[in-house]
Structure 1
């Protein structure tokens, strides 16, 4: 008996028992470090989730059945069952129909069932839970017959993959070009351009099947052909952040204190230079031209990083650095020398008196930003997290570029 047959029988029997007992709660099905959650209300399926890419799966189902649906997550109190709660809200506000919502639930459940029955060994745990019992919730439930139909459909897809020798191709994996030039040589230009748009290094096989409006088996068969000719390979990618998690990260970023960068330099040009570079990135820049008179300003600023000039009219940067390192307030504050002098002796002396780094004033802006990111605690949060996440996980990322 094949692994898929065993998985199918186990899941089918478990679902039948839950239905017969008309229980309410959560069924957790696991294999290794993967876990799926099936939520039930009076023995009917409320929602299916879990696995590697639950958020990707949600976006695909939304795009398939109601592509114009623009959901808002501001009102969600927590992350649990956020997808289902959004569907309920959308129905109440007449954004989508009951038929569209149920189609979304069936599509998601089919992918979850497919993932479960394709595993060679499974563990099952039942957790009694209370779920809201509104009229909308009751209308969205998948009945025993509907569950059976979805499970049968998932088994049919898995069986087709097995029969065609494609069982090893995981639809959660991402196909990637080995060599685009080699692909272009072996294929005609139209095929190359189409495939290049799809195989962007982030889309899974499930994503590609949806975009191409082809069955999973058809897509897997074509990709297998490319794999056999060493044109592509498969890799694993992370799931997208869920909308509630993205909202939480933005909220955390908005609550973060603004990092303060102090520049001690007698030239106003250096202060202006640092402001132009760092202020657009969210940093506050304080410029002190007279280090003696500016000590009070330095204390009030409580900087996260100090850029310090080496040669100044009244006192040298070495003296200032040595003084700051002997104070309780600034003994651990990162200090980076910013100087026109760039000799090995200057660098060595700066390090000996406690400077963290040494930059030449002719350094390009990227070097300055790298120094700030290196020594400020929440250095790259906004740029490498929020901006990249909004770019990567935007709902429109499923669209094929024209």
Structure 2
């Protein structure tokens, strides 16, 4: 089962999965804002919602029609750490060996299970976290109007800690999504960050403990969604609580850095230090096709990137650990080891858990993209691709190259000498 969200909505998809008592994985991908199809004229509320979610993708795992776990395909553990703050257990993630979660399709779920096994979390706490994660993910999915989906039958996510009936959960969240729209335009995204604008007025009307809590979180950096996670509340409850004060102007809502950048990198260029800005970005291209390798080498060398092209996927696995690239381009269809296997192997290593891995897909790219997300790929590039497409993707994840590197090196030297 697969298709476009302009043809069938998420609610109907979930109903089909539940009624069919199906076991497997649902993958949903929001359209990037630059490629939204002109088949649906969205309202202003829908447009803001779509923009804040564009470029994101999600997984939901089902067992006999009931939902087991759901989350974004992003391989970072930021969301999990936010939830673990409830139990002062966020640092426990660092003590989990990556090998212990290698068998899980969803790293976040694997880490949560491992934390329970080593008694950093109780089963009841773990179930509470999973329930909140599912609720949060479905809120995003049921707010989505443009995108693609695919449901693949398969073995269930194991082991299961809990399952939730889909229909009552969807009914509840649909009502929340409808109420959420009433806060527009003052509140339009869970990624907005509140900041106190009128401290005196807030202190006058709020109990001391309530004001203290609000003042701690309303720092202009912590998003509404993060506050909901910390307080063990859903996003609607948090929005409903602050809305009157936002409307009066006592609280302002700023945009998070990720929202300003369209949901891409969470680090702003101005926050990088001098060395990161001026060092030559290093790229490894793994592809058994000579034409692709030569094309990538030529383009990237011309634009100031350090590039190493490797034709043998087995050799590539050992070389990437020596080269420590800033980004990896990896073809999918290769002999001995395909791109999915290489990506999955690299993600099991802490050295490459956060490294951007971009899969090079064929013309029929949707199924490729689904599988790429499943193994932890960051993005994809459809072949054949042009120079501008390749450079735009690299600039998105690792910045521009440095054709005049000797000059940059001299600037760094001068800065160190002056220091």
TM-score, normalized by length of structure 1? 0.48
